[in-house]
Structures are given as C-alpha cells and as structure tokens.
Amino acid sequence: MNGPMLFDEEEALRDESRRDAGPGPNVLTIDIDGWEGPLDLLLALARTQKVDLRQLSILALVEQYLVFIDEVRALKLELAADYLVMAAWLAYLKSALLLPKDPTIDPSPEELALRLQLRLERLNAMRESGARLMARDRIGRDVFLRGAPEKLRVVKARAWECDYFELITAYGQINARTQPAMHIVKKRQVMTLEQALERVSAMIGRAIDWTAISAFLPPMADPALRKSALASSFVAALELAKRGVVDLQQESTFAPLMLRKKAT
C-alpha cells in the first residue's frame, strides 16, 4: 500500500484492487504507512472477507488483525503504538467472545463487537460515498463552464453631493479669506491717569479717615472701565503720595490699599 488514493479513476481502481488483495499470509511487502490507523487496517481486512459488512465475522476479523500484526512484528517493522493498543483490545475481545457468557460484564463482549462492526460500517459508508462523490460529473473534469464568459459588469456611477448652502458658504469664505486684511483696534472705555488724578484729588478732600481705594472708583458696572479705573487710580494714588498729598497704608500683601488725606 502506498500513498494517498489518487482520484484518477483508473488509479483508484488499481489502488482498490491492491487493497483487496490485502495483506494475505504470502504478502511480504507490507507497508504499514499505507494505513490510516488501525480502524483503516481493520476495514481493509474486513473487506477481504468479501461479505456485506453486516454479515462480518468479528471473530474472524480479530484473528486476521492479530495475524497481520504478528507478521509485521516478525519482520521487525516498527508499528505505531495505536496498532498495538488495538491488537491488545482485540485479543481481549476475542477471549471475551469465546468464554462462557458472564452477565456481569458491561458492556458485554457482543456489544463491543457490535460497536466495532458499526464503526467499520460507518467508515466504509463514508469511504464509498467519498468515492461516489468524486466520481460525479465534476466541473473542470467532466463538465465545463464557459471558457470565455463576457462577465457581468457593475459600473459605478458616482453621484456627487453638494447642496446650495455649502456652495454659497464656500464663496463667502473664499471672499473672507482673500479680502485684504485690515485690523481695527476696538475702542475701549478707559480712565486716563489725568482723569484719575483729578478724581482722586477731588474725592480725597472730603475723606477724613482711611478709605479703601475701591471707594474712589466710578460706581458704574462696566467691568472693563472699572479695571482701567482701578489701575489709573492706583497710579494716581502713588503720584499723590509722592506729592505729599495723601498717605497710603496696606496692612499686608493683597490687603486693601487704604488712602487718607495727609494731615497738614
């Protein structure tokens, strides 16, 4: 036995006949590698009985297997372990079948034998089905498809999407982008140093006691102007202190800055 079965019909037939000639007692050219495991070997042996597998003599099969294995071992060919495991199991099965029935043994040897037979039947069924499948009218071997089909084509037509708003917005943005840039500084309300000097000088005249600088700011809400007024009033306070018009006092860092008219 050699190699995988090829699905050339002739070769398959030749292969089959070689298999069926099987490993008879006179066959010395035994190639154990040709078998796909013990079940495969068992099936090939079973087929040499030339009966329907349902009529198979399991005892005869066991005998065939054990003889075969012995021959192989006599030739000092190496056997894979699973063949030996199967041989041991079959030897057990054989003795169990031959011995008087012991109802306590479960599963019974008859059941084991039946199981083995069923497995062989199933493998055989699939092997035959496979061969029949391969023998069908297969595309590229028995039936042929059209050699040069025109082929169907799917032509992709692209529809471009763009809506009106996008179009005019784009134009607006081009214009905005390409218009010569002119930078105008926004007018801010500020209190100049002069204004602050005037305002603080006027107000300090009326203040007798220490007064926080925030009291000198214009009371209106605009925070921008308020900030400007604070900065200018602070500088004005320093200026007035320099001129000797006011006293300044701050208890600690970030504490309110206090102003008072300098005592004269």
Partner 1 sequence: MIETDPDMRAVEATLFASDQPMTVEQIRGYVGDSVDVSAALTQLAAHYQGRGIEIVQRGKAWHFQTAPDLAHLLRREREESRKLSRAAVETLAIIAYHEPVSRAEIEAIRGVQISKGTLDVLMEAGWVRPAGRREVPGRPLIYATTPGFLTHFGLNSRKDLPGIADLKAAGLLDPIDSAMGDMLFTGEESDSELEINENNA
151 Cβ partners below 8 Å, 6+ apart? none
Provide the token pair at 73: 């071992």
Which range of residues in 21-29, 71-79, 110-118, 237-245 is near partner 1 by CB under 8 A?
110-118
Any contact of residue 117 with partner 1 (CB under 8 A)?
yes
Provide the token pair at 13: 């037939």
Which range of residues in 69-77, 127-135, 198-206, 236-244 is near partner 1 by CB under 8 A?
127-135
113 Cβ partners below 8 Å, 6+ apart? 58, 93, 97
Q: Which is nearer to partner 1, 28 or 139 (CB)?
A: 139
**Residue among 167, 170, 186 at smallest CA distance from 178:** 170
Query: Nearest-5° angle of CA 239, CA 241, CA 243?
Result: 70
Any contact of residue 58 with partner 1 (CB under 8 A)?
yes
**Residue among 262, 264, 263 at smallest CA distance from 247:** 262
To partner 1, the closest distance from the beta carbon of 204 in angstroms equals 18
- Binding mask of the shown chain, residues 208 to 247, with x at each position contacting partner 1 by CB under 8 A: ----xxx--------xx-xx--x-----------------
To partner 1, the closest distance from the beta carbon of 219 in angstroms equals 13
Provide φ and ψ at 20, rounded to 5°.
-70, -35
Q: Which is nearer to partner 1, 14 or 115 (CB)?
A: 115
To partner 1, the closest distance from the beta carbon of 197 in angstroms equals 20
Q: Which is nearer to partner 1, 165 or 263 (CB)?
A: 165
d(C-alpha 55, C-alpha 5), whole Å: 27
The residue count for binding partner 1 (CB under 8 A) is 93
* Residues linked to residue 259 through DSSP beta bridges, in sequence order: 211, 248
Q: Looking only at residues 8 through 47 of this chain, which bind partner 1 when binding is defined by CB under 8 A?
A: 8, 36-40
| Residue that the structure tokens 């009529």 belong to | 55
Q: Looking only at residues 131 through 160 of this chain, which bind partner 1 when binding is defined by CB under 8 A?
A: 131-134, 136-160
Q: Which of 45, 93, 113, 236 binds partner 1 (CB under 8 A)?
A: 113
To partner 1, the closest distance from the beta carbon of 263 in angstroms equals 25
Can you tell me whether residue 260 is helix, strand or coil?
Answer: strand
To partner 1, the closest distance from the beta carbon of 128 in angstroms equals 8
Residue type, 182: M
